[in-house]
Amino acid sequence: MLIQLTDVTKSYAKDDSWLFRSRTPVLKGVSLSVNHSECVGLVGESGSGKSTLGKIVLGLEACDSGTVSYAEELLELPRYQAMSVVFQDYNTSVNPRLTIAEIINEPLLNEPLSPYERDRLITSLLAEVGLPAELRTRYPHQLSGGQLQRVCIARAIAPNPRFILLDEAVSSLDVSVQVQVLELLQTLKQTRNVAYLFITHDITVASFLCDRLLFFKEGMVVEQVDDISQLNRVADPYTRQLLEAAGYLEIPFLNHSSNP
Ligand SMILES: Nc1ncnc2c1ncn2[C@@H]1O[C@H](COP(=O)(O)OP(=O)(O)OP(=O)(O)O)[C@@H](O)[C@H]1O
């Protein structure tokens, strides 16, 4: 086990809380684990609390109750080397005044590398995410969305983390670019032995990349699918609704009733 959350709750103060001291519960007792080198998908609608959960996993927010435990190997490393994150909005994830090489170098600033070694590492990280070395001197506005998200992925893998949180990391990309970036993430997962928590509202992309899926609704895990080939067997009505909307339950060989 790399990361384990047990019975985590979180609430935020309501806007009128100065008067009533009332709070809105956002996470209502969430338990989940991410194992070494696995990709866990957290699928749910907008506002269900997925990003809040992601922030708690990264240690950016504290939970109100419950526990978050990390494997020893994560605790031994500085946080930026143990865990990385790739957000949905690649434009606001990068400093527009930095070159692409400087952006990728951000998590490497404390590494004792010579200028030559640093240069070579940045070039090899660009190659690893499928980008040419010439991009290193460009600025973010001179790249396409897909290229910039690849730069964010290069920055995320630069310190060689054991865990990466992917928060709607392909949701802003065109469908064809989405597939390429998902394939890149799949490759990196294998070559770098990294674990992902993949937060998304899109069950199709989640089932492409993930080993396990957790369906999330109103701050709770309502269903867990350990075997993606058994997706059609989900019982929870909300999860079935999501699958139906994505066309999964219409495919005859996946249909539960025709394949007992
Ligand atoms: N810092 C905050 N203060 C107050 N309320 C917050 C805060 N952060 C999130 N919320 C509220 O918590 C709820 C869950 O938000 P969250 O961003 O975790 O959902 P989500 O499932 O990631 O949604 P989306 O996919 O749209 O990003 C929302 O109602 C949001 O308004």
Q: Residue 69 contacts by C-beta under 8 Å, 6 or more apart in sequence?
A: 1, 3, 4, 5, 6
Residue 256 has pLDDT above 60, yes or no: no
Residue 258 has pLDDT above 50, yes or no: no
Calculate the dihedral angle through the C-alpha atoms of 159, 38, 216, 88, rounding to the nearest 10 degrees.
30
Whether 114 is in a domain gets the answer yes
Residue 249 has pLDDT above 90, yes or no: no
Give, for ligand 1, the residue of 16, 23, 48, 53 to mutate: max count of ligand atoms closer than 8 Å to Cβ. 48
Question: Residue 200's beta-bridge partner residues?
Answer: 43
Whether 152 is in a domain gets the answer yes
Residue 254 has pLDDT above 50, yes or no: no
Q: What is the mean pLDDT of residues 181-209?
A: 95
Distance of CA 116 to the CA centre of its chain: 32
Whether 119 is in a domain gets the answer yes
pLDDT of 18-69, one tens digit each? 666 688 899 999 999 999 999 999 999 999 999 999 999 999 999 999 999 9
Mind giving me the DSSP string for 134-185? Answer: GGGGS-GGGS-HHHHHHHHHHHHHTT--SEEEEESTTTTS-HHHHHHHHHHH
Band of pLDDT at residue 253, cut at 50, 70 and 90? very low
Cβ of 46 below 6 Å from ligand 1: yes
Q: What is the mean pLDDT of residues 132-137?
A: 98
Whether 101 is in a domain gets the answer yes
Whether 142 is in a domain gets the answer yes
Q: What pLDDT was estimated at residue 216?
A: 94
Whether 39 is in a domain gets the answer no
Cβ of 146 below 6 Å from ligand 1: no
8-22, 95-109, 112-126: which range is least confident on average?
8-22
Band of pLDDT at residue 255, cut at 50, 70 and 90? very low
| Domain region containing 110 | 95-161
Q: What is the position in ligand 1's atom list of the atom closest to the CA of 199?
A: 22
Nearest CA to ligand 1 atom 10: 12
120 vs 247, more confident: 120
Calculate the average pLDDT of the chain: 92
Nearest CA to ligand 1 atom 7: 12
Complex ipTM above 0.85? yes
Given the structure tokens 């922030």, which residue do they identify?
55
Cβ of 178 below 6 Å from ligand 1: no
Q: What pLDDT was estimated at residue 229?
A: 86
How many structural domains does the chain have?
Answer: 1
Whether 243 is in a domain gets the answer no
Band of pLDDT at residue 13, cut at 50, 70 and 90? confident
238 vs 196, more confident: 196
Whether 153 is in a domain gets the answer yes
Give, for ligand 1, the residue of 9, 12, 56, 205 to mutate: max count of ligand atoms closer than 8 Å to Cβ. 12
CA atoms lying within 13 Å on the CB side of residue 182: 22
Q: What pLDDT was estimated at residue 250?
A: 62
